[in-house]
Chain A
Amino acid sequence: MFFHFPLERILDLRQTVLLLNTVLLIAALIVVELVYSEAKPKKRKELKYFFPLFLVLTGLLIYAFYVQRSVL
């Protein structure tokens, strides 16, 4: 009936997810650099489709910094 997030509330997992997010963001940036840095301008227009996803992942990276600061 409603979308359900099926994860139990385990705080250890939050650290893991934030770490995974950082790894994913770095990997995605490397792939984008490799694929699109020397591509034709028409092909580069496809990059706009990835910006919102990168924005969310960057937001999570900032949140990870915030969480680490509060832990320290």
Chain B
Amino acid sequence: MKDFLKELRAGIDLFWKGLTGGIGAVVKGITSFSQDNFNKFENTKSTKYFSRKRKQLVKTLREWGLNYRIWLVVVGLIVAAEATLFWASRVGIYINALALAGLAALAVISDKSRKVAISASIIPVANMVVASVMPKSIIGSTVILYSVILLLSLIYRYMFTLEYPELKTALKLKGYGYGLPIMIVTGEVVGAIAYLFLRHHYPFVGYSWPLIALAAVAFAFTEEMLLRGLIQQQGEIIFRPAMAAIATTILYVFLTLNHSTWLTFPVALIMGGVLSFTYYKRKNIILTFTINATAKLIYIGLVVSFVLKK
């Protein structure tokens, strides 16, 4: 019996030692494993890398939020001004003045959005000049509108680009050799589409067509200076480039709204989209100017040849 009890006690001791030893070994093993594998990550390159990435992501999201707000304010003010001028003139002139005040305030408050806001404020200023002078004919209002836009666009483009390093967007001779013919063909296609939609809504009936054709080239240059040369270029610095392209397309659509027909809407959407996309891809105003001028000349040429001569 005594032997049995002795054997039993020895067995329990052994079991206990084994159990405690096993548990201890497991705990020790887990601790040492965690120390070896987890704790050492706390200040290693990889944890710093992930921490930095997380901070960058948060910063980027905050910037996107701010940038989209700026984008919405700039585009929203211009669209509101143009739309209300179109639908209710008496209210529109107040909204136009409000848009100018809002954009100027944005330019004063925000360093980041100053250049975009000032570039966009050219549109309400030009509207105010035309509304003040109030010319009798459509060609008069169009010429004054374009003249003010061109003058201010050239001044601001000169001022904004003074501090910039020389951009490497100019094409070489070979690039122009391939690029310009493609742009001319694109412009011809856009002009033909415009003719299909707007052949019975030519706005300059009764005026000398060579003079209008000459003016159309200047109009195309003005549009490119303002929309691509200023707003899209400055917008690409703040917003994402695609958002800047969408903004200029929306502005182009609303700037060409016409009382006589709704068909200007699809034409402006196609033309604005093509021009903005070309600038988005190539960052070259000469190419977009070629498309714009060709499209206008083809439209005028087709209207004069097939509609006005009947």
Contacts and interface: CB of A to CB of B under 8 A. Distances in A.
Contact of A28 (B104, B111, B127, B219): B104
Given A6-B259, A35-B108, A1 B127 contact: no
A6 B84 CA distance: 9
B250 interface: no
B257 A4 contact: yes
Interface string B290-303: 00000110010000
Contact of A52 (B86, B155, B256): B155
Contact of B125 (A3, A13, A18, A57): A57
A11 interface: yes
Given A9-B134, A14-B134, A60 B121 contact: no
A9 B129 CA distance: 13
Interface of B: 82, 85-86, 89-90, 92-94, 97, 100-101, 104-105, 107-108, 111, 114-115, 118, 121, 125, 127-136, 141-142, 145-146, 148-149, 152, 155-156, 159, 194, 198, 203, 216, 219, 223, 255-259, 264, 267-268, 271, 295-296, 299
25 contacts: A1-B194, A1-B256, A1-B299, A3-B149, A3-B256, A4-B264, A5-B127, A5-B141, A6-B89, A6-B258, A6-B259, A7-B92, A7-B93, A7-B130, A13-B131, A13-B134, A14-B133, A17-B97, A17-B128, A21-B97, A27-B101, A49-B156, A50-B104, A53-B125, A56-B129
Interface of A: 1-11, 13-14, 16-18, 20-21, 23-24, 27-28, 31-32, 35, 46, 48-50, 52-53, 56-57, 60, 63-64
Given A17-B128, A21-B128, A31-B108, 17 more contacts: A2-B296, A3-B219, A3-B255, A4-B142, A4-B203, A4-B264, A5-B142, A7-B130, A9-B134, A14-B133, A24-B101, A32-B108, A46-B114, A49-B107, A50-B118, A53-B152, A56-B129
